[in-house]
Amino acid sequence: MIYLDANATEPLRPEAREAVVAALDLVGNPSSVHAAGRAARRVLEDSREAVARRFGAAPADLVFTGGGTEANALAIHALGRGRRVLVGATEHDAVLRADPAAAVVPVDGDGLLALDTLAAMLADGPPALVCVMAANNETGAIQPLPAIAELCRRYGALLHVDAVQAAGRIALDAGVLGADTLALSSHKLGGPKGAGALLLRPGLHLSPLIAGGGQERGRRGGTEPLPAIAGFAAAARAAGEATHLASLRDAAERAAVAAGAVVIGAGAPRLPQTTCLALPGVRADTQVIALDLAGIAVSAGAACSSGKVARSRVIEAMGLGDLAGCAIRVSLPWSVTGADIAAFADAYAAMAARLLRRAA
């Protein structure tokens, strides 16, 4: 099986595996005061330091959560209280559905936030919370965060950044960005599933979404998932940026385009390891199944409550409605090889030739 679905989940990095194994041998609860508890607490705080520093925050300003969805929900529930919530049209469901009353900010044909519209929305009404992703999970489009942050400052809005897909793939520094909160997920950067984090602007206080126990300075109750957190930290240390994967991604893209594909969002700056390929007239689920049978794992969009292979909401929001049902996402994991991409290119060409003939 050739795995090209990294945006659903990255394979575990060996460094993370080692850290998980070591942490599983620690018996203690990090809140216990005895020797076993203190040993667990040390690993927890070392991990907090590593993840916070890696992404430009102080350890005291990091809240560990059960994952990226919870980190997003925590930020939006806490900061959105008493504010208008504005979300980008191509946000992940974790953000889009966090506040049912949220207003949607449109995107352009490459999936980038319409800054003029955002400015108009911010100017017209009470203080807002703006929620925007650093990079899109389906197309890889990287939002112009410095410009968005500047608009938020100008209009007194708070800014929450969903950096789940960007972390470990492009340069990311919460301090430099000037976001109020920034959500991270362990398993999207090669750590284990079951841990995430929310980085906070220095000194920002948050009311908890999950109450009780007083862990995480009262900002998130529950015994911390130590092995997952230790693995998260090791992955954060190990994940540089994915720049070196751009040439492999480009090779895959060239092969697909030669076989008839259209690249979605090609005009935007994108994650170096993501491409979204539409084959006009061929249903996405048919493509995914054909590639699955050829031993290649890709997806037709977000992995969430999958099973339902629906039309891509992201591509529809970009105004490319006719392509929304026929695009697949190819996302390269940190472990990808040139041979994987060569095999993908062959399989894609064979699939496209067969299915386009049938569609014609």
Partner 1 sequence: MLTMPPRPNRPVYLDNQATTPLDPRVWQAMVPFFTEHFGNPHSAEHAMGRFAEDAVEQARAHVAALIGAEAREIVLTSGATEANNLAIKGAARFAAAQGSPRRRIVTVATEHKCVLEAVADLAAEGFEPVVLPVGPDGLLDPAVLEQALETPTLLVSVMAVNNEIGVIHDLAAIGRLTRAHGALFHCDAAQGVGKISLNMSELQIDLMSISGHKLYGPKGVGALYVRRRPRARIAPLFSGGGQERGLRSGTLAPPLVVGLGEACRIAAAEMALDAGRIAGQRDRFLDALNRDVPGIVVNADRVRRIPGNLNITFPAASAAALMAELPELCVSTGSACSSAEVEPSYVLRAIGLSDSAAARTLRVGLGRFTSPADVDYAATALAAAHAVVAARA
Residue numbers 172-191 binding partner 1 by CB under 8 A: 185, 187
The smaller minimum CB distance to partner 1, of residues 90 and 149, is found at 90
Cα distances (Å, whole numbers) of residue 86 to 100, 153, 217, 241, 357: 11, 15, 28, 29, 44
Distance CA 109, CA 46 (A): 43
Least distance from C-beta 200 to partner 1, angstroms? Answer: 18
- The stretch among 46-54, 89-97, 127-135, 255-263 that binds partner 1 (CB under 8 A) is 89-97
Applying CB under 8 A, which of residues 52, 85, 98, 183 lies at the interface with partner 1?
A: 98
Nearest CA to 30 out of 231, 229, 235, 200 is that of 229
Tell me if 87 contacts partner 1 by CB under 8 A. Answer: no
Least distance from C-beta 108 to partner 1, angstroms? Answer: 25
Q: What DSSP assignment string belongs to 107-128?
A: B-TTS-B-HHHHHHHHHSSS-E
- The stretch among 50-58, 169-177, 247-255, 300-308 that binds partner 1 (CB under 8 A) is 300-308
Distance CA 265, CA 138 (A): 10
CB 276 within 8 A of CB 172: no
Applying CB under 8 A, which of residues 47, 136, 143, 299 lies at the interface with partner 1?
A: 299
- The stretch among 92-100, 238-246, 247-255, 271-279 that binds partner 1 (CB under 8 A) is 92-100
Q: Is 326 a catalytic residue?
A: no
Tell me if 281 contacts partner 1 by CB under 8 A. Answer: no
Q: Which residues pair with 132 in a beta bridge?
A: 161
Site for partner 1, residues 116 to 155, rule: CB under 8 A: none
Site for partner 1, residues 221 to 260, rule: CB under 8 A: 221-228
Amino acid identity at 91: E
- The stretch among 204-212, 250-258, 265-273, 310-318 that binds partner 1 (CB under 8 A) is 204-212
DSSP type of residue 85: E
Least distance from C-beta 77 to partner 1, angstroms? Answer: 7
Amino acid identity at 9: T
Neighbour-count burial of 314, counting CB atoms closer than 10 A to its CB (0-12 exposed, 13-18 middle, 19+ buried): buried
Q: How many residues bind partner 1 (CB under 8 A)?
A: 75
Applying CB under 8 A, which of residues 45, 304, 321, 346 lies at the interface with partner 1?
A: 304
Rounded to a whole number, what is the distance in angstroms from the first to the last CA of the chain?
30
The smaller minimum CB distance to partner 1, of residues 51 and 122, is found at 51
Least distance from C-beta 183 to partner 1, angstroms? Answer: 11
Tell me if 46 contacts partner 1 by CB under 8 A. Answer: no
Site for partner 1, residues 49 to 78, rule: CB under 8 A: 65-70, 72-74, 77
Edge-to-edge strands of the sheet including 181-185? 62-65, 196-200, 181-185, 158-162, 128-133, 84-88, 103-105
Distance CA 108, CA 141 (A): 11
Tell me if 195 contacts partner 1 by CB under 8 A. Answer: yes
- The stretch among 23-31, 47-55, 112-120, 145-153 that binds partner 1 (CB under 8 A) is 23-31
Tell me if 325 contacts partner 1 by CB under 8 A. Answer: no
Tell me if 92 contacts partner 1 by CB under 8 A. Answer: yes
Angle, vertex CA 292, rays to CA 291 and CA 293, nearest 5: 90
Q: Which of 131, 152, 276, 304 is catalytic?
A: 304
Tell me if 5 contacts partner 1 by CB under 8 A. Answer: yes
Helix (H) or strand (E) holding 294: none
Other residues' Cβ atoms within 10 Å of the Cβ of residue 84: 19
Least distance from C-beta 244 to partner 1, angstroms? Answer: 21
Would you name the residues annotated as active-site residues?
A: 304
